[in-house]
Amino acid sequence: MNLVTGAGRWLTRGGAGLAVVLLGCGAAHADTVVPLPNGRQALTTATGIRVDFSRTGEQAVISPSIAFNGLSRTASMSATVFATVPGATGGQLVTGYLVGCQVDLSGGLSLGGDMYVSPSSATPEIVPSINLVPGAVAQVKFDTKKIDPKAGAIGVEYHDRGVQVGGCAGYAQARAYSTLTVTNDRGTAEVTLYGQPFSIG
């Protein structure tokens, strides 16, 4: 099993619509625990690779704003994402969350920009802010991992990875996504596994 655990890091995004901050610790004074259903896709790609792709143990903890105002709210997420890909000679797994302010995320990926924070960094890392117009979606990438062909599997586990949503005067929600890309001598295939959307308040 090629399972990787990442620690949280700071990440900020500012703009007229939505600001998202990744926090390096779990949410304090949590008031609502949201258990989320497991997800799985088992299929054979057109290139002939058998993929068994799952997200388990996902939950979000919604807590009061650390800024104590109606424009901010905080959530911390946990889950394990794992895939077996026997026969893949290369590829990668990208996992994270879509976060939007008054945006319906049930249809999947609809982006106004993205951000990424490396869990291997030893110190907090600030990513340049990207402005989002109202109604846009931020793609928060938790991890990007390369497939080890010898292992035939890849995984990411995260615990209490925090997201603070600020500057949102309306309804905010989030949704997990994980995109698996697999390659062999017949070509490249991509599979995306979405989680259930949930309210951040």
Distance spanning both ends of the chain, measured CA to CA: 36
Q: What is the full per-residue pLDDT of the chain (201 aa) written as tens digits?
A: 444 433 333 233 334 445 555 554 444 454 789 999 999 999 999 999 999 999 999 999 988 765 555 567 788 899 999 999 999 999 999 999 888 877 666 665 444 444 443 333 333 333 222 233 457 678 888 899 999 999 999 999 999 888 777 777 777 788 999 999 999 999 999 999 999 999 887
Burial of 82 (0-12, 13-18, 19+ CB in 10 A): buried
